[in-house]
Amino acid sequence: MTKRYELSELIRSDNFIDGKWVAASGGKRFAVTNPATGETIAQVAESDAADAHAATDAAARAFPAWRDALPKDRASVLHRWHALMVENADELGRLISLEQGKPFAEGRGEVMYGASYVAWFADEATRIYGDIIPQQQRGKGMSAVKEPIGIVAAITPWNFPLAMIARKIAPALAAGCTVVGKPAEDTPLTALALVMLAHEAGVPPGVLNLISASRENAVPAVADWLADSRVRKITFTGSTPVGKYLARESAGTLKKLSLELGGNAPFIVFDDADLDAAVTGLLAAKFRNGGQTCVCPNRVYVQAGVYERFADLLSTRVAALKVAPATDTAAQIGPMINARAIDKIARHVEDAVNRGARVLTGGKRLPELGLNYYAPTVLADATPDMQLSCEETFGPVVPLFRFDDEADAIRAANDTPFGLASYFYSQDVRRIDRVARRLEAGIVGINEGALASEAAPFGGVKESGYGREGSKYGLDDYLSIKYLCQGGLE
């Protein structure tokens, strides 16, 4: 039997270290606010390096027993955690909406998405095979076994407060690692609730530790993990500049890193595409979480022959999207996460318009709805000199670029330091094969806008980072290979 909690019971405001809820050592707190209203939801622990260190101490003490636990016992704990997440999906979904702003249906969907990684890695825990290496010399046996890498530090973003931390913690625990974590300062409450459920599921004290810190204190807290040689791995989802900082600062202790960084995804619509399907796919990919997703299309390239028709079809559908508070059951887009985010969106649109873009729909803030709302926007006549062509907008803005031939589209799509997701629509099988191979990205959507799945490898190339989350490959990032060579066998 799994237990169902009220929302108020899921809201925790202390750090979770060594199986206990504890205040930050300095006694300080910071406010977590509702992005739609600015109201304070909770005052959470303002942690610093001492708290980060205490979390590592606990994770180090817990590691030997968790490493040596039978994989099927680790799997059982993860399955119980999964069951608790599913049982509490409504309230967790409400908590996500409250602190992050996404509509409830999307918040609940995120819970099920995050839970799917937990179930996946629960099963994978029992399938960590090694190899017997065919004999090379008489009397010598050689094998390769996989071992947990050690203590993992998980640093997670605000856009998916549950799914991103779940898909880091689950493989780490499945592999036999212990974890110290810090969720984003905007959205720590969902992560704290998740840890509470993990404890209830039977994760032993010290195996999973979570601290919260505001933007100001995050650097000293994380720096403690970067410098600590006991922390063997960093797994991070967030911006490319922060990813580079983590890589640089952890070089002193040569940690293994998984970095899921910025996107700037291209979405290409060829003349031979099914235009209705392309519009539907673009809406699904672009407006998920109000455009605040690393895999959201940021640049939409449309071939000249279908440009005007596609722009019309798209603008009609985008103008009909319902922007409303997360509590409105009809809401499709909620508020953006904070004032910085919405200022960036407004700056990108203003810059594009000043450089000749035409607003087909949207193009403005919606203060009448509350804080941080921006109208879903389509801009025609986008060009490469605009800021939104080189930087992720991370909001509900679709710029349409026009192109003439396939080679130009591929060149433009790849003309970015990033390479996370890319998408294209075409009905020509030879073109599909060609374009899929030439796009420089870790993920390619072909006539499909919804790509996320726990069974698929998620991750990028170029400055979008390295490492893969989910799928049979996702566990490798938390394991190291040990070669055993035994002599004297004959």
Least distance in angstroms from the C-beta of 371 to ligand SIN: 22
C-beta closer to ligand SIN: residue 311 or 398: 398
Q: Which one of 45, 294, 314, 326 is in contact with ligand SIN (CB under 6 A)?
A: 294
Q: Which one of 295, 371, 378, 388 is in contact with ligand SIN (CB under 6 A)?
A: 295
Q: Tokens 């908590």 identify what position?
A: 95
Least distance in angstroms from the C-beta of 446 to ligand SIN: 16
Name the one range near ligand SIN by CB under 6 A: 22-30, 63-71, 289-297, 360-368. Answer: 289-297
Name the one range near ligand SIN by CB under 6 A: 129-137, 216-224, 290-298, 476-484. Answer: 290-298
C-beta closer to ligand SIN: residue 250 or 293: 293
45 neighbors 14 (Cβ within 8 angstroms): yes
256-275 residues near ligand SIN, rule: CB under 6 A: 260
C-beta closer to ligand SIN: residue 399 or 470: 470
- Catalogue the E-assigned strands of 110-206: 131-133, 141-148, 151-155, 178-182
Q: At what angle do helices 163-175 and 104-124 cross, to 10 degrees?
A: 10
What are the C-alpha distances in Å from 452 to residues 79, 284, 397? 21, 11, 21
Least distance in angstroms from the C-beta of 294 to ligand SIN: 4
Cross-strand pairs, 399: 379
Least distance in angstroms from the C-beta of 407 to ligand SIN: 29
C-beta closer to ligand SIN: residue 113 or 425: 113
Q: Mask of contacts with ligand SIN, 192-231, x by CB under 6 A?
A: ----------------------------------------
Q: Which one of 15, 56, 212, 237 is in contact with ligand SIN (CB under 6 A)?
A: 237
- Reading the block at residue 201, the tokens are 């599921």
Helix and strand counts by DSSP (H, E) for the chain: 15, 22
350-409 residues near ligand SIN, rule: CB under 6 A: none
> 444 by DSSP, 3-state: which?
strand
Least distance in angstroms from the C-beta of 68 to ligand SIN: 32
Least distance in angstroms from the C-beta of 159 to ligand SIN: 5
The catalytic residue among 106, 260, 454, 469 is 260
Q: How far is the C-alpha of 489 from the C-alpha of 296, rounded, in Å?
A: 57
131-170 residues near ligand SIN, rule: CB under 6 A: 159-160
447-466 residues near ligand SIN, rule: CB under 6 A: 452, 458
Least distance in angstroms from the C-beta of 73 to ligand SIN: 29
Least distance in angstroms from the C-beta of 410 to ligand SIN: 23
C-beta closer to ligand SIN: residue 165 or 211: 165
What are the C-alpha distances in Å from 96 to residues 2, 181, 238, 384? 21, 18, 18, 36
For residue 302, the surrounding DSSP H or E stretch is strand 297-303
* Sign of the Cα pseudo-torsion (149, 173, 219, 20, in order): negative
DSSP calls for 105-124: HHHHHHHHHHHHHHHHHHHH
Least distance in angstroms from the C-beta of 346 to ligand SIN: 21
Q: Tokens 């960590």 identify what position?
A: 128
Residues in the interface with ligand SIN (CB under 6 A) total 9
What is the per-residue burial (b if ≥16 Cβ within 10 Å, else e) of 23-52? bbeeeebbebbbbbeeeebbebbbbbbebb
- Work out whether strand 151-155 and strand 231-237 pair parallel, antiparallel, or are unpaired: parallel
> Would you call 368 a catalytic residue per the annotation?
no
171 neighbors 202 (Cβ within 8 angstroms): no
- Binding status of residue 310 toward ligand SIN by CB under 6 A: no
> 225 by DSSP, 3-state: which?
helix
180 neighbors 225 (Cβ within 8 angstroms): yes
C-beta closer to ligand SIN: residue 54 or 444: 444
C-beta closer to ligand SIN: residue 37 or 338: 338
> 165 by DSSP, 3-state: which?
helix
Name the one range near ligand SIN by CB under 6 A: 264-272, 292-300, 329-337, 471-479. Answer: 292-300
For residue 343, the surrounding DSSP H or E stretch is helix 339-354
Amino acid, single-letter form, for residue 118: V
Q: How far is the C-alpha of 180 from the C-alpha of 440, rounded, in Å?
A: 33
Name the one range near ligand SIN by CB under 6 A: 27-35, 92-100, 291-299, 433-441. Answer: 291-299
Q: Which one of 187, 240, 293, 298 is in contact with ligand SIN (CB under 6 A)?
A: 293
Catalytic residue numbers, as ranges:
260
Q: Which residues contribute to the site for ligand SIN (CB under 6 A)?
A: 159-160, 237, 260, 293-295, 452, 458
